[in-house]
Amino acid sequence: MTVRTAELLMAIMMGAFSIYLMVKSTELPIGWIDEEGPGGGTWPFWLATIMLISCGGILFNWFLKKGPIATSNKVYIEKHVLGDVAAVAGSLIVTVGLFSFIGIYGALPLFIIFYVRFLGKHSWVLTTILAFAIPVVIFYFFEITLKIILPKGITEPLFLPLYKIFL
Amino acid sequence: MFEILGLLGQGFLVVFEPQNLLLIVGGCTLGLFIGAMPGLGSVNGVAILLPLTFLVPPTGAIIFLAAIYYGAMYGGAISSIMLGIPGASTAVATTFDGRPLAKQGMADKALIGAAVASFVGGSISVVLFTFFAPPLAHVALVFGAPEEFALMMLAFATFVGLGGDDIFKTLFSICIGLVLSAVGFDIISGEPRLVLWDITGFLHGVNFLVLAIGIYGIGEMLWTVEEHALGGGKSMLSEATVSVARTLAALRELVKTWKATVMGSFLGYFVGILPAAGATPGSLMAYGIAKQISKEPEKFGEGAIEGVCAPEAANNAASTGSMLPMLTLGIPGSPTTAILLGGMVIWGLEPGPRLFVDHSEFVWGLIASLYAANLFTLLINIAFIPVFIKVLKTPFTILAPVIFILCLIGGYAPTQDMHDVWLMIVFGIVGYLMRKLDYPLAPAVLAIVLGPLAEPAMRQSLIISEGSFMIFFERVYAGPIMIAALILLFLPLFKKVYDRIRKPQPQAE
């Protein structure tokens, strides 16, 4: 896909999102209400309208072939880059997905192993140290010091003794 | 005058509390580290680390974040000089002469020049700040809802008029930020509003940190993955010999750069006050002017030390400058201060001129901390140059997972809702894809912070005027501000028309 095609698709998608926002805004009154001023939907409605007009402007420039993006025939995301970015973004999505099941302390070591060992090609020794040390630091800092309880999924019961000691 | 000095003295008492001193030193060191990492700048550091500050009281929190801001401005120069890759966009101009100097084996001279110029830039701007801020805040005390709204319009208009990006994309970015800030509940009627796709997670709104960390954490890291490629990022580190004798010699040579440094400081400060301009254009402008006023302009680009000093003075001065409108008017002067402002709201402080009256300890503590941070950063920087150079050798594939993990937890911490973490990932990926198409994203972050302040300001104004928009033009302060905003908004259009009229003439001749 070229940058020019990506520009078109993005403008259409954002235009559609703007229309959705406009429609959604009308769930609240968008006109003037006596003694209350503008209705609750007014502000987002008109902002979404400007968004739609902006997308129209971007499309207009696209058709006229104006600007460096609208005329660029370069590849939008190069193949070798796409692999790297997809691997990183994909591993993030999987990690967040796992938060709710095996908990943050199950998911983070997996993420670290994947990133450091398989993407970074570092030694197993370093990978193991990081996969163990980072979650421990996070537990100490966030759960004990800041008292922010992080999602644990099915590993929750394992932490009950620790809560008893620290919280 | 004496009153200001008295208040500043009180501020120093706050700063010298052991906890706050520790926060400054820690913040400066972290900031230097973040700034030195290629691709990460002050805004990324502040966005990713803001959730950590829930631990300390607001004054300590902002002192810590301001120290990071400051440190990152210093630190950006380190990778610009040593790697030839700007540590942050604000340090782009530093590569022009810093890199050639390093290649000639004078990396230490460039690093010390950058550190000292940053110190001078920081000091001049902090003094300007100390004496400008209170009168400005005093004037702003009479501002009502219409003036506040006009000021915010001015902030947004600077992005359109001076930002230099595609106008439609800038407008889109501003509006999407404002709409996202409207998600949740209507503040006046109390009814649920814009609960997108009826997902209940949107009921508590879109936290500005979710967008900020999404864009400046996740999105930025994806961008860095692309730029450096995973296996790549091979060290192109220059050699630097550091010794006391060489340092002293370098310091002596810096005396002749005073003109460039002082010019950069003033320029950076005033450019930094404008929301759309800030440190990056400030430092580029300072570089250009330093070249013009230099006796040996031909040396620029080949390793002129003035070419390092001027932009470094400017970017540090700009970071202080951008805090002026944030503290006095409640309008951030840069994306980083936008995040600081959002933080202030989380900590329960209402940004705006009343801060100087209601939370004088907070404001003056922050101002005094800027003095202290400036000094500490200089000392830490010069003392630990060899350490920071070592840090640059840390492979990206070890740092990246750590930063990603901080982002994920940072997105979760404020609301403790997984919905926000997912949303942050969506923002990060979409933001990355949009950035590749040159959509400016800083306006969106500024807008999501200002949105919850802008909407009530507009609605209250319209209630006062019974629906007439003339209220924004008729009042003493609001009128000129609004007109300035409109001029800036239409500036690109005027330019186009002007170019059209001008261009055909030479052809006709």
Q: A87 contacts in B (CB within 8 Å)?
A: 230
Are residues A86 and A54 part of one domain?
Answer: no
Higher-confidence position of B365 and B277: B365
Q: Does B56 touch chain A (CB under 8 A)?
A: no
Q: For residue A103, tell me if it sits in a domain.
A: yes
**pLDDT band at residue B48 under the 50/70/90 scheme:** confident
Cα three-residue angle B110-B113-B117, rounded to 5 degrees: 140
Name which of B50, B54, B172 to mutate to probe chain A: the one with the most chain A Cβ atoms within 10 A of its Cβ. B172
Residue of B nearest to A38 (CA): B459
Are residues A43 and A89 part of one domain?
Answer: no
Phi/psi of residue A33, nearest 5 degrees:
-115, 130
Closest CA to B7 of B315, B367, B278, B327: B367
Question: Which structural domain range is residue A12 located in?
Answer: 3-64
Closest CA to B94 of B77, B107, B78: B77
* Interface contact flag, B397 A119, Cβ < 8 Å: yes
Q: B189 contacts in A (CB within 8 Å)?
A: 28, 36, 39-40
Are residues A50 and A98 part of one domain?
Answer: no
Residue of A nearest to B54 (CA): A146
Tokens 């990778």 appear where? B79
Residue of A nearest to B407 (CA): A92
Cα three-residue angle B122-B123-B126, rounded to 5 degrees: 85
Give per-residue pLDDT as tens, B135-178.
887 787 778 888 888 888 887 887 887 777 888 999 999 999 99
Question: What pLDDT score was predicted for residue B30?
Answer: 87
pLDDT at B40 over 50: yes
Domain boundary among A33, A64, A95: A64
Q: A61 contacts in B (CB within 8 Å)?
A: 166, 168
Looking at B183-237, list the stretches that DSSP marks H as alpha helix, in order from N- to C-terminal side. 208-213, 220-228
Phi/psi of residue B185, nearest 5 degrees:
-125, 145
Are residues A150 and A93 part of one domain?
Answer: yes
CA distances from B200 to A29, B45, B213, B354 (A): 21, 30, 22, 35
SS3 B78: helix
Q: Which two tokens stand for residue A45?
A: 């409605």
Phi/psi of residue A75, nearest 5 degrees:
-70, 135
Instruction: List, as ranges, residues 165-204 from B with C-beta within 8 Å of A.
Output: 166-169, 171-172, 175-176, 178-179, 182, 186, 188-189, 191, 193-194, 196
pTM of the model as a whole: 0.80
* Interface contact flag, B408 A92, Cβ < 8 Å: yes
Give per-residue pLDDT as tens, B74-109.
888 887 888 776 767 778 788 888 888 888 878 888
Q: Check if the beta carbon of residue A11 is closer than 8 Å to that of residue A59.
A: yes
Give per-residue pLDDT as tens, B389-412.
777 777 778 878 888 888 888 888
CA distance B276 to B173: 13
pLDDT at B272 over 90: no
Q: For residue A73, tell me if it sits in a domain.
A: no
Are residues A91 and A17 part of one domain?
Answer: no
Give per-residue pLDDT as tens, B456-493.
888 888 888 887 888 888 888 888 888 888 888 888 88
**pLDDT band at residue B39 under the 50/70/90 scheme:** low
Q: Taking residues B224-233, what's their average pLDDT?
A: 62
Query: What stretches of B412-489 adopt beta strand conformation (E)?
Result: none
Q: B471 vs chain A: nearest CA distance in angstroms?
A: 14
Are residues A92 and A54 part of one domain?
Answer: no
Closest CA to B237 of B92, B72, B68, B395: B395
Q: For residue A28, tell me if it sits in a domain.
A: yes
**pLDDT band at residue B239 under the 50/70/90 scheme:** low
**pLDDT band at residue B234 under the 50/70/90 scheme:** very low
Q: What whole-number percentage of chain A has pLDDT above 90?
A: 39
Task: Provide the number of structural domains found in chain A.
Answer: 2
> Shortest CB distance from B397 goes to which of A55, A89, A116?
A116
Are residues A110 and A49 part of one domain?
Answer: no
Q: Taking residues B36-58, what's their average pLDDT?
A: 80
Give per-residue pLDDT as tens, A88-100.
999 999 999 998 8
Are residues A139 and A102 part of one domain?
Answer: yes
Q: For residue A74, tell me if it sits in a domain.
A: no
Which residues have a Cβ under 8 Å from the Cβ of B330 and sit 6 or more positions away? B148, B151, B341, B350, B351, B352, B353, B355, B453
Q: B178 contacts in A (CB within 8 Å)?
A: 43-44, 47
Q: A115 contacts in B (CB within 8 Å)?
A: 397, 400-401, 404
Are residues A156 and A117 part of one domain?
Answer: yes
Q: Check if the beta carbon of residue B195 is closer than 8 Å to that of residue B203.
A: yes
Q: Check if the beta carbon of residue B449 is closer than 8 Å to that of residue B332.
A: yes
Which residues have a Cβ under 8 Å from the Cβ of B158 and sit 6 or more positions away? B274, B275, B276, B277, B488
CA distance B113 to B107: 10
Are residues A54 and A9 part of one domain?
Answer: yes
pLDDT at B506 over 60: no
Name which of B52, B422, B437 to mutate to probe chain A: the one with the most chain A Cβ atoms within 10 A of its Cβ. B437
Q: Does B229 touch chain A (CB under 8 A)?
A: yes
Q: For residue A47, tell me if it sits in a domain.
A: yes
Question: What pLDDT score was predicted for residue B434?
Answer: 92
Q: What whole-number percentage of chain B has pLDDT above 90?
A: 9
What average pLDDT is seen over chain B?
Answer: 83
Name which of A4, A20, A21 to mutate to probe chain B: the one with the most chain B Cβ atoms within 10 A of its Cβ. A21
* Interface contact flag, A120 B416, Cβ < 8 Å: no
Are residues A158 and A133 part of one domain?
Answer: yes
Q: Taking residues B415-423, what's their average pLDDT?
A: 89
Question: What pLDDT score was predicted for residue B203?
Answer: 86
pLDDT at A54 over 90: yes
CA distances from A65 to A2, B171, B435 (A): 14, 20, 19
Higher-confidence position of A145 and B186: B186
* Interface contact flag, A146 B194, Cβ < 8 Å: no
**pLDDT band at residue B46 under the 50/70/90 scheme:** confident
Which residues have a Cβ under 8 Å from the Cβ of A119 and sit 6 or more positions away? A84, A87, A88, B230, B397
Q: B439 contacts in A (CB within 8 Å)?
A: 10
CA distance B509 to B500: 16
Residue of A nearest to B179 (CA): A44
> Shortest CB distance from A40 goes to which of B55, B167, B191?
B191
Are residues A119 and A54 part of one domain?
Answer: no
Higher-confidence position of B500 and B21: B21
pLDDT at B72 over 80: yes
Question: What pLDDT score was predicted for residue A57?
Answer: 92
Q: Looking at this predicted complex, what is its ipTM?
A: 0.92
- Tell whether the torsion through CA atoms of B324, B328, B329 and B330 is positive or negative: positive
Higher-confidence position of A131 and B237: A131
Tokens 């502000």 appear where? A43
Q: B249 vs chain A: nearest CA distance in angstroms?
A: 41
Give per-residue pLDDT as tens, B285-296.
888 888 888 888
What interhelical angle do B306-321 and B92-103 show, nearest 10? 150
Cα three-residue angle B334-B335-B341, rounded to 5 degrees: 90
